[in-house]
Amino acid sequence: MTVTQERVRRPQALGAADPRSPDDHGALRRAVGRNLTAYGFLCAALICFALFSWYPMIREIVLSFQQNNFVDPGEWVGFDNFRTVVADPAFRSAWLNTAAFSGLALVIGYAVPFVLAVVLNELKHAKAYLRFVVYLPVMLPPAVAVLLFKWFYDPGAGLFNQALDAVHLPPLSWLDSTSTALISLVIVSTWMNLGTGTLIYLAALQSIPGDLYESAELDGAGLLKRVWHVTIPQTKLILLVMLLLQIVATMQVFIEPYLLTGGGPENATVTVAYLMYQYAFNFGDFGGGSALGLMLMVVLLVFSTIYLRVSREEAER
């Protein structure tokens, strides 16, 4: 090998041995930039959760053991707040009404969206238009939807009593009778949330392979048998998840009794969330309201734990 060849090869060898080329530096900078952006969004989300979710929960737990009006310094009272709210005659009614509301909402608000989704999935025409119509109530602000139904329930010129009069039936005191007030709230809640549940079920139905329905049809199965033997088994996970989520949501019902009935008549529509509001903002007893909120949070935590366990078990299968 000549000296000239040695001088030519030596720089090439040195350049090949350098592990940090300009391209590597650029890739490193891009990776750091992507990670910084991701961590920035993550930090923003964590700050929002800390300020608007975690801190209020911790504050609620602290307040439930204090006598606090946010004017004078808080005084630790132990479990006195819990004893006070449990001794309240409205406490038992609130829990019974909440349980009854959740049960009625499951009978009506859980089954109706699924049936409607099955019907929409079977239709051949106007699917997009009907989905929009079904989802339209979700677009309305909750207060607007509730006040709209307050006019529907009007004992005089209300739409529902006008419909009963058209078929020669006696009018009903929808919101003024203890026998109809709670079911009236359930109807409002079902109508307000009908679109979300229907679209979720419809998405689950459209993920079912068409071969299963074709095989069922070849075996002579009608619509009901196809739903029972194909649709329900294939969507059992989403059905269970929606069941648990609806229980958690309906046990926190507040806006319907607050705007429609004010907890009446005769405490027939007082719920735990509404009683919690009364303690905190009507009675000025933030400790009692926080104690009720902590009790409700523990109950919802049980259902949330069941939901997480079921989801994990289904995901592992």
- Which pLDDT belongs to residue 126? 75
Predicted TM-score of the model (pTM):
0.81
Estimate the crossing angle of helix 286-316 against helix 55-63, to 10 degrees. Answer: 130
Looking at residue 283, what DSSP letter applies? S
- Which pLDDT belongs to residue 314? 66
Q: Which CATH class is domain 79-316?
A: mainly alpha
Measured at the alpha carbon of residue 180, what is the angle toward residues 303 and 254, in degrees to the nearest 5? Answer: 40
Looking at residue 52, what DSSP letter applies? I
- Compute the half-sphere exposure of residue 148: CA atoms within 13 Å on the CB side of its CA: 12
Bridge partners of residue 75, in order along the sequence: 67
Question: Minimal CA–CA distance to 248: which of 108, 69, 101, 121?
Answer: 101
> What spatial distance separates the first Cα and last Cα of the chain, rounded to whole Å?
67
- Which pLDDT belongs to residue 146? 92
- Which pLDDT belongs to residue 23? 61
| Strands annotated E in the chain | 66-67, 75-76
- Which pLDDT belongs to residue 21? 57
Cα–Cα distance for residue pair 172/161, rounded to 1 Å: 7
- Compute the half-sphere exposure of residue 82: CA atoms within 13 Å on the CB side of its CA: 10
- Which pLDDT belongs to residue 25? 67
Domains of the chain by residue range? 21-63, 79-316
User: Which mean pLDDT values do the consecutive 10-residue runs of the chain (317 residues) have?
Assistant: 48 48 67 78 88 89 86 84 93 94 88 88 80 87 91 88 90 90 92 90 87 83 84 86 87 92 90 93 90 93 83 70
Cα–Cα distance for residue pair 266/167, rounded to 1 Å: 31
What φ, ψ does residue 111 adopt, rounded to 5°? -80, -40
- Which pLDDT belongs to residue 3? 46
Looking at residue 179, what DSSP letter applies? T
Cα–Cα distance for residue pair 42/52, rounded to 1 Å: 15
Cα–Cα distance for residue pair 139/120, rounded to 1 Å: 20
Cα–Cα distance for residue pair 42/156, rounded to 1 Å: 54
Cis peptide before 265 (omega within 30 of 0): yes
The four Cα atoms 152, 155, 160, 164 give a dihedral, to 10 degrees, of -170
